Amino acid sequence: MHILSFIILFTCILVPFPKISVANDSINLPQSMRDGDTLVSKTRKFELGFFSPGSSQKRYLGIWYKNIPIRTVVWVANRENPINDSSGILTLNTTGNLVLTQNKSLVWYTNNSHKQAQNPVAVLLDSGNLVIRNDGETNPEAYLWQSFDYPSDTLLPGMKLGWDLRTGLDRRLTAWKSPDDPSPGDVYRDLELYSYPEFYIMKGTKKVYRFGPWNGLYFSGVPDLRNNTIFGFNFFSNKEESYYIFSPTNDLVMSRIVMNESTTIYRYVWVEDDQNWRIYTSLPKDFCDTYGLCGVYGNCMTSQTQVCQCLKGFSPKSPEAWVSSGWSQGCVRNKPLSCKDKLTDGFVKYEGLKVPDTRHTWLDESIGLEECKVICLNNCSCMAYTNSDIRGAGSGCVMWFGDLIDIKQLQTAGQDLYIRMPASELESVYRHKKKTTTIAASTTAAICGVLLLSSYFICRIRRNNAGKSLTEYDSEKDMDDLDIQLFDLPTITTATNDFSMENKIGEGGFGPVYKGILVDGQEIAVKTLSRSSWQGVTEFINEVKLIAKLQHRNLVKLLGCCIQGQEKMLIYEYMANGSLDSFIFDDKKRKLLKWPQQFHIICGIARGLMYLHQDSRLRIIHRDLKASNVLLDENSSPKISDFGMARTFGGDQFEGNTSRVVGTCGYMAPEYAVDGSFSVKSDVFSFGILVLEIVCGKRNKGLYQTDKSLNLVGHAWTLWKEGRALDLIDDSNMKESCVISEVLRCIHVGLLCVQQYPEDRPTMASVILMLESHMELVEPKEHGFISRNFLGEGDLRSNRKDTSSSNDVTITLLEAR
């Protein structure tokens, strides 16, 4: 039957058709379209014709955007069978099929064999869909054929990506082999029809990335796409169809999704002002998006130094491999399950997850979570369960059977997952909760005690104001106005073991920093003000005033202060991983920070600075941003610290000037070091230095190559001009974990931040946009770094203190005005 249909079809293409130049949106039965002719949709949005991709000379029939200057092909007919010259002819035959020929040889044809053609016509619609329909018919269900059913590498608004279960049609995106070759490569996005279906990016038969199943609001692995102003999207699944579809929220916005041969899927948005396509999102997004990276029962966490963590109650199957980042073997249970008595097992709730691969799942949308739990508990093979639809209170039931793989801890949103555990592990969870409750009660009692003591010392301080210096009196008067906890000296002395050297963790600009533990078990960092530091009193009060009012996840949190006699101290939350410089400039510890953590740190610092510059009540300029003033918490999330040098501005003030230049050699902007002029762009300059230091693991003040005048910025600039920016990368640390495009983007952004003139440098809001998107960046101009020779070696030596952490020391330059 198929052979007979082909013979009839091939005979039809040999029948001569009138040569008619096509200039509208359709081809009728008497017409043919030759190379050079085109169809244009009614509003001139899309065009169909012959083209040659890239540098290729071969000819293809395709569809592209008509009304933009950059030819952007969205569909190709003869992907696997190009035409060698301009002899291609497209015709419509009486069976309702389009036929493409070259010198009377068949090149490509449509496959309508199910619907009756009656006066067929081929039309290019404004959606970009090429359809064959009976003349006058507008119902899409009655189309004889449509290009939307046969995507190339691009998904347009209104296209369905997924399965038509009635006909067995699989609509998938398949990447071009190269920009010069649109033939299907081995990279594609496909929907797997499991009981709980989900999309994958595949390379051949290998899973590269998993979107996660649809949970009623979004795909489990990409919750951040649900809140955007560019497009809306949905997923439909029933007995007839299972597919994803998206549409723009504004008809004036052009958006498309493209599957790339590098196993990345991009969403592009046309920016009219720039007359260019900009990348709005891309997937995979980070290291933890690598399919199955942590093996079974491993949870991938980008915020951790060691990104793969075993779920609670599990341990690495191969501890030796796990330590060296060999995570593929995954994790095993610490204690076996017992299914002989259903009461001996239970479930532990995990929150904020991309749920596991759904290959071995069972779905029932008619039952709720409680019934789901009962069914799962009574089946020894059921390892986890959750709601299939998380809207409202949640509904539906999905269960996992066998080992759980490809779990990711999400920073925002994510789903709950109930994982089967033996009774002994459940008991440890309950004990942990009970301990947490006890600690909370103890903490409350301790806080009440501290408040009573604080009230006593405030009264005592006020009574003893007489006889003090003007500076001391004003300082304490200022402290009374702050809504902040006051600690007494005995409490801090006990917490720091009498300020012992064992508790000393660093040296600040005006005195040592100690680790302490309060009576309730809370760990603290105590920053002391050296008595010999005459200029530090003002900075101390300044820091308290500023930080007490700042609330941001990337700024260190001030817990309180201590003022007693000549002793002045700031009490901060303790940062378990210390300062950033102790990691990035140490060859051994640097290896613990894989590229995803480094990129996470860079973006976190940028968000903290943007808050200071733009989102806080007053505009704040830090003036001393450097690696030693960035602290890392237990999750390696960065927190900007040390606000002693910061200056505040009103909402309409952007810059200032000072005769007392403060800052650190290696990070100061030229206009600040030379003229004392500072602005938000001074902090941007320091941020640029910090980005380059993080990427290459070297201090800016080091000397590079044979030219001993080159610091890191000069070295980076030289490599950039020579097209060798990747030579900056620390190969020993990044070769397995780095995303080259992200590293290059960070270097590019860093060089933009250290440009000589402040007006050329981006704002921190622009920096975040450049880091977290794929927008095209301008070329950086000459850098503006002031070398250490400007200040003289003597200045550096006379201001350096010996410390265990070898941090850069803040210096002060006094200039006559």
Q: List the chain domain ranges.
A: 1-150, 156-285, 296-422, 464-573, 581-814
Over 60: is that where the pLDDT of 797 sits?
no
Considering only 249-263, 456-470, 591-605, which range has the smallest mean pLDDT? 456-470
Q: Which residue has the tokens 């640097």?
A: 590
Question: Average pLDDT in the 314-321 region?
Answer: 93
Q: What is residue 510's predicted lDDT score, i.e. its pLDDT? A: 65
Q: Is 363 helix (H, G, I), strand (E, B) or coil?
A: strand
Assess contact for 289 and 255: CB atoms under 8 A: no
Q: What is residue 275's predicted lDDT score, i.e. its pLDDT? A: 87
Q: How far apart are CA 28 and CA 10, in angstroms?
A: 19
The pLDDT-based confidence of 435 (bands split at 50, 70, 90) is: very low
Assess contact for 669 and 724: CB atoms under 8 A: no
Q: How far apart are CA 191 and CA 245, in angstroms?
A: 13
Q: How far apart are CA 755 and CA 513, in angstroms?
A: 34
Q: What is the mean pLDDT of the chain?
A: 81
- Edge to edge, what strands does the sheet with 415-422 contain? 308-310, 298-300, 407-409, 345-354, 415-422, 382-386, 397-401, 361-364
Q: What is the dihedral of CA 69, 73, 77, 79, to 10 degrees?
A: 130
- The hierarchical CATH code for the domain 1-150 is 2.90.10.10
Q: How far apart are CA 119 and CA 94, in angstroms?
A: 7
456 versus 106: the higher-pLDDT residue is 106
- The hierarchical CATH code for the domain 464-573 is 3.30.200.20
Q: How far apart are CA 388 and CA 397, in angstroms?
A: 5
208 versus 593: the higher-pLDDT residue is 208
Q: What is residue 428's predicted lDDT score, i.e. its pLDDT? A: 62
Residues 548-589: tens digit of each pLDDT: 777 888 999 888 888 876 778 889 899 989 899 989 988 888
Residues 385-409: tens digit of each pLDDT: 999 999 998 999 999 999 999 999 9
The pLDDT-based confidence of 704 (bands split at 50, 70, 90) is: low
Q: Is 232 helix (H, G, I), strand (E, B) or coil?
A: strand
- Counting Cβ atoms within 10 Å, is residue 640 exposed (0-12), middle (13-18) or buried (19+)? buried
At the fourth CATH level, the homologous superfamily of domain 581-814 is Transferase(Phosphotransferase) domain 1 (1.10.510.10)
Q: What is residue 222's predicted lDDT score, i.e. its pLDDT? A: 93
> From the candidates 153, 286, 345, 624, which is the catalytic residue?
624
Query: Can 586 be counted among the known catalytic residues?
Result: no
Indicate yes or no: pTM above 0.75.
no
Dihedral sign for Cα atoms in the order 514, 517, 523, 524 = negative
Dihedral sign for Cα atoms in the order 159, 164, 168, 170 = positive
Over 70: is that where the pLDDT of 796 sits?
no
Contacts 24+ apart (CB under 8 A), 39-45: 39/124, 39/130, 40/66, 40/124, 41/66, 41/124, 41/125, 41/126, 41/128, 42/126, 43/126, 45/126, 45/128
Q: What is residue 473's predicted lDDT score, i.e. its pLDDT? A: 34
Q: How far apart are CA 809 and CA 807, in angstroms?
A: 6
Residues 487-539: tens digit of each pLDDT: 888 899 999 998 898 899 887 656 788 999 998 889 999 988 765 544 455 66
Which candidate, 790, 550, 566, places its Cα nearest to that of 661? 790
Q: How far apart are CA 622 and CA 682, in angstroms?
A: 9
- Cα radius of gyration rounded to whole Å, the chain: 33
Q: How far apart are CA 460 and CA 425, in angstroms?
A: 52
Residues 652-698: tens digit of each pLDDT: 444 555 545 555 777 888 887 777 788 889 999 999 999 999 998 88
Which candidate, 244, 220, 246, places its Cα nearest to that of 163? 244
Dihedral sign for Cα atoms in the order 358, 359, 362, 363 = positive
Per-residue HEC secondary structure of 118-162 comes to CCEEEEECCCCCEEEEECCCCCHHHCCEEHHHCCCCEECCCCCEE
